[in-house]
Amino acid sequence: MSTTPATSSTSRTDQGQIGSLAGVHSDSDRELPAHPAQPVMEAKDLNVFYGDFHAVHDVNLAYGRNEITAMIGPSGCGKSTVLRCLNRMNDLVAGARVEGQVMYHEQDIYAKNVDPIAVRTHIGMVFQKPNPFPKSIYDNIAYGPRVTGMKVDNMDDLVEEALRGAALWDEVKDKLKQSAYGLSGGQQQRLCIARTIATKPDLILMDEPCSALDPIATARVEDLMLQLRNDYTIIVVTHNMQQAARVSDRTAFFTARPDETTGNRTGLLVEYDLTSNIFSNPSDKRTEDYISGRFG
């Protein structure tokens, strides 16, 4: 599956319309190697500090191509921090410092000569709260290609393609010039996904993308994620274990370890495996406790 060439966006949309809501997509038919054979991105000995506070300790993780990797764990375990390191969004936090490497296409994105803006054009991000710009639906999509100077033959086509890719076209095609704020929360979040794929990224990072949505909107976004897996690599942070179980191929479980002297909690990676293994047969006691709801 991971080597199947991309299907066209039109057929993806068709699937989306027919495709039912969550739970139906079983991943059992996907046979994946125990470790990502050809990781698209790899964090090596990643440590994050905010000032003196050690937020994340020694994370090593390889993300497989055209897979959905979920990062789960109790709050404060550093999963979102790790995610924000992968497209250098942490650069924008005053006092944040990252040590270790994040390898992407054989380059460390934290190397000195790397442009964080170039990194972000290849690695898109969808946030917790839908954050459309206070502009029209059309302009929300066209914004990314415009600011990055992408060569676009026909912007109208690109907008349509991105909206179809995010399974939103049929709902908004008649009101492209209207404000994005008129959309429902779930539509707004799919608009944010459309906005991200309009810039043709390689990876899409999602930071608890459904935590502000109702169950039906959540199901549609999850559905969309499974379709997007054909063309993109997705890394998703979620506090919702069922969601991780439903959509992800692999799951990384993080936890927080309190410092004995300062009481600060440092996040670390406990276990990383195929999602089916994590949920059926975790090898670490802490994972098992969390999965079974005893903790967190």
- Considering the complex, what minimum distance in angstroms separates the CB of residue 43 from another protein? 16
Angle between the 9-18 and 155-165 helix axes, to the nearest 10 degrees?
A: 40
164 binds another protein (CB under 8 A): yes
73 binds another protein (CB under 8 A): no
Q: Tokens representing 234? A: 């997705």
Between residue 235 and residue 254, which ones bind another protein under the rule CB under 8 A? none
Q: By C-beta, is 176 or 268 nearer to another protein?
A: 176
Among 59, 62, 109, 237, binds another protein (CB under 8 A): 109
58 binds another protein (CB under 8 A): no
Strands (E) in 121-196, as ranges, are: 123-126
Measure the CA angle with vertex 81, ends 77 and 84; round to 5°: 155
Q: Distance (Å, rounded) from C-alpha 296 to C-alpha 288?
A: 11
Pick from 190, 82, 79, 87: nearest CA to 132: 190
- What 8-state DSSP symbol labels residue 180? G
Cβ atoms within 10 A of the Cβ of 169, count?
20
- Considering the complex, what minimum distance in angstroms separates the CB of residue 171 from another protein? 18
Maximum CA extent, the chain? 60
Pick from 54, 35, 57, 63: nearest CA to 45: 57
- Considering the complex, what minimum distance in angstroms separates the CB of residue 248 from another protein? 19
Between residue 7 and residue 26, which ones bind another protein under the rule CB under 8 A? 8-10
Q: 53: buried, middle or exposed (CB in 10 Å: 19+, 13-18, 0-12)?
A: middle
With beta carbons less than 8 A apart as the criterion, state whether 125 and 87 touch: yes
Among 161, 208, 222, 249, binds another protein (CB under 8 A): 161
Q: By C-beta, is 233 or 255 nearer to another protein?
A: 233
Pick from 91, 65, 57: nearest CA to 254: 57
132 binds another protein (CB under 8 A): yes
Q: Which stretch binds another protein (CB under 8 A): 90-98, 238-246, 247-255, 288-296?
A: 90-98
Among 77, 83, 119, 278, binds another protein (CB under 8 A): 119
Q: By C-beta, is 170 or 259 nearer to another protein?
A: 170
178 binds another protein (CB under 8 A): no
177 binds another protein (CB under 8 A): no
Angle between the 137-147 and 155-165 helix axes, to the nearest 10 degrees?
A: 110
Residues at the site binding another protein, with contacts judged by CB under 8 A: 3-6, 8-10, 38, 40, 65-66, 87, 89, 92, 94-95, 104-107, 109, 113-115, 117-122, 124-125, 127, 129, 131-134, 143-144, 147-148, 153-154, 157-158, 160-161, 164-165, 192, 195-196, 199-202, 230-232
